[in-house]
């Protein structure tokens, strides 16, 4: 579904160069829920951004087979200066989706009916997060990128999200990045450990946890 081929990422910090990823090769298959386990500051967010194509690698390339969501905990699909309804209309056009159907699905999942004609700056952070998350799920991407804020918002929204995600597991791939081993052991079939710019694959999530905790 997504292949990383000799991918490196280097940031310049003053006179110093920071290697976030070093010659990473990995294949993220559609038939598995995949975890990326790394400590705080290890580069998990940068890796998700590369998978989504928000961030370009310094070297190597990424091959995507199908559509890939933005990382779900971000507000990226919410367009400043437009209402939620307007943002959804633009996104529907960009992704070849029926506008009315996208609005209906996202509003139902996120409990957004009372906010559709409100501009984002007037919405709480929680509502904006629910909106971005709900729009992504409603668009039915082939691959979903998720950070450790797996379920956002209040308890009712989290429960709706869990039900919706369970329905999607048979038809969509999920890549979850977290520093919490227990979260990935619970949800993932395969875990990659990200450490010092290297990505190591584990088909046994429990073994990934043991090795990660010994780093």
Q: pLDDT digit string (tens) for 37-94?
A: 999 999 999 999 999 999 999 999 999 998 999 887 777 778 888 999 999 999 999 9
**119: phi then psi, degrees, rounded to nearest 5:** -75, 145
Q: Are residues 145 and 204 in the same domain?
A: no
Within a domain: 76: no
Q: Are residues 168 and 181 in the same domain?
A: no
pLDDT tens-digit series, residues 101-131: 999 999 998 889 999 999 888 888 888 888 8
Within a domain: 185: yes
Within a domain: 162: yes
Q: Are residues 34 and 24 in the same domain?
A: yes
Mean pLDDT of 190-199: 96
Q: Are residues 91 and 113 in the same domain?
A: yes
Q: Are residues 38 and 90 in the same domain?
A: no
Within a domain: 104: yes
* Residue 42: alpha-carbon gap to chain centroid: 16
- According to DSSP, the β-strands at 59-64 and 33-38 are unpaired
pLDDT above 80 (res 150): no
Cα angle for residues 23, 29, 33 (degrees, 5° grid):
110
DSSP 2-39: EEEEEEEEEEEETTEEEEEEEEEEEEE-TTSEEEEEE-
Helix (H, G, I), strand (E, B) or coil at 51: helix
Which CATH number belongs to the domain containing residue 10 in this structure? 3.40.50.300
Q: Are residues 203 and 150 in the same domain?
A: no
The structure tokens listed for 18 are 């920071």
Within a domain: 111: yes
Within a domain: 150: yes
Q: Are residues 148 and 204 in the same domain?
A: no
Q: Which domain holds residue 160?
A: 84-173
Rounded CA-CA distance 117/130 in Å is: 15
Q: Are residues 151 and 201 in the same domain?
A: no
Mean pLDDT of 177-193: 92
Within a domain: 79: no
Q: Are residues 167 and 182 in the same domain?
A: no
In the chain, the number of structural domains is: 2
- CA-nearest of 114, 158, 100, 99 to 134 is 158
Within a domain: 20: yes
């Amino acid at each position: 579904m997504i292949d990383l081929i000799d991918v490196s990422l280097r940031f310049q910090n003053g006179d110093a160069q920071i290697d976030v990823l070093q010659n990473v090769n990995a294949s993220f298959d559609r038939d598995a829920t995949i975890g990326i386990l790394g400590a705080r500051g290890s580069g998990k967010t940068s890796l998700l951004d590369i998978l989504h194509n928000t961030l370009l690698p310094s070297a190597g390339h990424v091959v995507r087979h199908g559509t890939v969501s933005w990382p779900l905990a971000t507000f990226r699909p919410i367009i400043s200066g437009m209402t939620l309804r307007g943002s959804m209309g633009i996104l529907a056009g960009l992704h070849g989706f029926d506008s009315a159907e996208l609005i209906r699905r996202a509003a139902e999942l996120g409990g957004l009916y009372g906010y559709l004609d409100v501009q984002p700056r007037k919405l709480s952070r929680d509502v904006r997060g629910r909106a971005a998350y709900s729009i992504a799920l409603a668009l039915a991407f082939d691959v979903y990128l998720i950070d450790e804020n797996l379920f956002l918002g209040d308890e009712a929204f989290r429960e709706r999200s869990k039900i919706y995600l369970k329905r999607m597991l048979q038809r969509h791939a999920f890549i979850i990045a977290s520093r919490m081993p227990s979260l990935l052991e619970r949800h993932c079939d395969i875990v990659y450990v990200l450490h010092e710019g290297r990505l190591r694959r584990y088909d046994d999530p429990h073994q990934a946890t043991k090795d990660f905790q010994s780093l």
